Every structure is written in C-alpha cells, then in structure tokens.
C-alpha cells in the first residue's frame, strides 16, 4: 500500500512509524527537518509538497492540530487537492470538528476521493504500542476500506456513524477528560490541605467510585511524581472542549458543566501558553490553593 502521512507531531510520529514498517510510506511535515529526521530513522520518503505526496498515494492520512490546518493543506497550487487521484482514500486522524469534516468530505467527493474522520485516543504511549482506540466517521463501505489501514496503529477501531461522527465522539471523550482533570485536581488539593496524603487519597479513589483514567494513570504518573511530561498540549484539549460545546449547542443540549470546564481550560491556555501539557491545568489549582499535590 502506498500511504502518505502529513503531520509528524507528538502523536503523528509514532503512528506513522508503525506504517513505515508495513507500507510504502511518504511523509510531509511543515517543518521539513522533522520529516527528514523521521525518514532517516524509520525508512521512508519525504515529499517536497502536500501535492507531491498526494500524487503518489493510494491513502493520505492527516494528523494536524485542528480541522482548519487540514482544510488549508488541501488548497493552493501545492495543496493536497492538486495531487489527489480519483479513487484515493483520505483519512483524517486530527481531532477535528464534524462540520468542517462534512464540508471537506463533500469537496473531496467531487474528485472521486473518499473521506474518513478517524481521530485517535490513548495518548502517545498507546500510539507507540500500536494500540490506539480509533473513532471513525464514514459510510460503511469507506469504513471497510479504511479499517486495514487503521489497524496499522490502532487496536479498537469503532465505526460511530457517517462523516463527522468520529470527531463528535472524540470531542465528547476529551471534554470528559477535561472535566476529570479539573475535578480531581480540585478534590486532591482540598484533601491535601485537610491533611490527607495525596498518594493515599489517590489509592483510595482508585478502589472507589470516584476513579477515572485521570486518577488511575495520569495523576499518579505525572502529578504525584512531579514529572509533568509534555505529551498532549493543553491548547489542543482546549480546542476539543470547544468542539464539544459546539456539538451541545447544535443538538440543543444544555451543558453547564462542559461550558464551565471549557471556560476554565481557555483561561488556563492563556495563562500557561501553547506548549503547556494538558495536566498542567492542575498547576493553576495548586497555585490558588498554595499547596502542591505530590506523592
């Protein structure tokens, strides 16, 4: 299979690395030195432009910050659209927004190109292990075409519905992640100030009904240790909560909890900047509380 991959960021790189072992891979990255370093390590070809990448590929995969960048890369004389061939499959692994994806899918269908939204979940560790969860929006026949490609880096590959359904699922999942981060940060800060050790509090939560992926994995590994690795930018989670808010608005569902968490994450993004990790929202809670949450 001739696959083209655009967007060798924190999660895109380990995903593409799996494909390099299996497929005939061509990559393109905005910062071209990253693409050269990637191919020197994993063995693949660097395309000079998105157009060149698309002209040689049966499958094109994007993994970019937002749907805006995906749409932008389609356009212009060196854009993907100028190279895509009729019969190609376009898989967008960006955590994007459903409305833009529907627009892009409609546009590509005019060139005989099928579109799938296929955002991923599990973080960089799951991407490295090749066992991401993938949430797919597509018509059934296109989903079946995409499945073997996605199996290159995913384990649970779920068809959620038509184009946009994968992005909607991902946005809601990440809104819940954001809720959990802030709620757990607030609860732990209060417990620590009340005299409970953070490690004991986490152990009790994790054998009780208040547990979550954040309490079981993220906080023990990143907050209690004080290591704060940067694997998933807070700015991207802020974007995801924004998409979830839009979905609630469009469907007429009141969402005061997700709305508030969205407001708090946007504020955290302003305070902490574009490079901060998503867990660093807890640093703002620590700052206000005047105490660190450490094991």
Q: Which positions touch ligand NDP (CB under 6 A)?
A: 7-12, 29-31, 34, 63-65, 69, 73, 94-95, 120-121, 123-124, 231-233, 236
Residue nearest to ligand NDP (CB): 9
Nearer to ligand NDP, 159 or 167 (CB): 167
Question: Is residue 148 packed enough to be buried (19+ CB in 10 Å), middle (13-18) or exposed (0-12)?
Answer: exposed
Tell me how far the alpha carbon of residue 223 is from its chain's centroid. 21
Give me Rg for the CA atoms of the chain: 20
Nearer to ligand NDP, 6 or 113 (CB): 6
Q: Secondary structure of 120-152 in the HEC alphabet?
A: EECHHHHHHHCCEEEEEECCHHHHHHHHHHHCC
Both tokens assigned to 270: 């302003």
The least distance separating ligand NDP from the CB of residue 202, rounded to whole angstroms, comes to 22
The least distance separating ligand NDP from the CB of residue 8, rounded to whole angstroms, comes to 5
Nearer to ligand NDP, 50 or 201 (CB): 50
Phi, psi of 154 (to 5 degrees): -120, 160
Catalytic positions are 170
The least distance separating ligand NDP from the CB of residue 178, rounded to whole angstroms, comes to 12
Nearer to ligand NDP, 191 or 280 (CB): 280
Alpha-carbon gap, residue 169 to 133, rounded angstroms: 12
Alpha-carbon gap, residue 273 to 179, rounded angstroms: 20
CB atoms within 10 A of CB 87: 10
The least distance separating ligand NDP from the CB of residue 101, rounded to whole angstroms, comes to 12
């Amino acid at each position: 299979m001739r696959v083209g991959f655009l967007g060798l960021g924190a999660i895109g790189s380990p995903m593409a690395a799996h494909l390099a072992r299996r497929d005939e891979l061509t990559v393109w990255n905005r910062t071209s030195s990253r693409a050269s370093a990637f191919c020197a390590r994993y063995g693949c070809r660097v395309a000079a432009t998105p157009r060149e990448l698309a002209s040689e590929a049966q499958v094109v995969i994007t993994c970019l910050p937002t749907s805006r960048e995906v749409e932008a890369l389609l356009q212009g004389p060196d854009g993907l659209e100028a190279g895509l061939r009729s019969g190609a499959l376009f898989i967008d692994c960006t955590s994007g927004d459903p409305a833009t994806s529907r627009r892009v899918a409609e546009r590509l269908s005019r060139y005989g190109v099928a579109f799938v939204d296929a955002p991923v979940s599990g973080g960089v560790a799951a991407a490295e292990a090749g066992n991401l969860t993938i949430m797919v929006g597509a018509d059934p026949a296109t989903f079946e075409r995409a499945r073997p490609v996605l199996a290159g880096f995913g384990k649970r590959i779920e068809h959620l519905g038509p184009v946009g359904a994968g992005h909607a699922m991902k946005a809601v999942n990440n809104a819940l992640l954001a809720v959990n981060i802030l709620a757990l940060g607030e609860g732990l800060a209060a417990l620590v100030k009340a005299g409970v050790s953070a490690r004991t509090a986490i152990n009790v939560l994790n054998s009780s009904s208040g547990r979550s992926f954040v309490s079981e994995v993220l906080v023990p590994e990143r907050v209690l240790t004080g290591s704060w690795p940067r694997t998933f930018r807070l700015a991207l989670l802020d974007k995801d909560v924004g998409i979830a808010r839009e979905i609630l608005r469009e469907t007429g569902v009141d969402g005061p909890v997700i709305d508030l968490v969205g407001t708090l994450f946007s504020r955290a993004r302003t305070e902490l900047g574009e490079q901060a990790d998503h867990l660093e929202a807890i640093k703002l809670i620590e700052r206000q509380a005047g105490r660190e949450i450490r094991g």
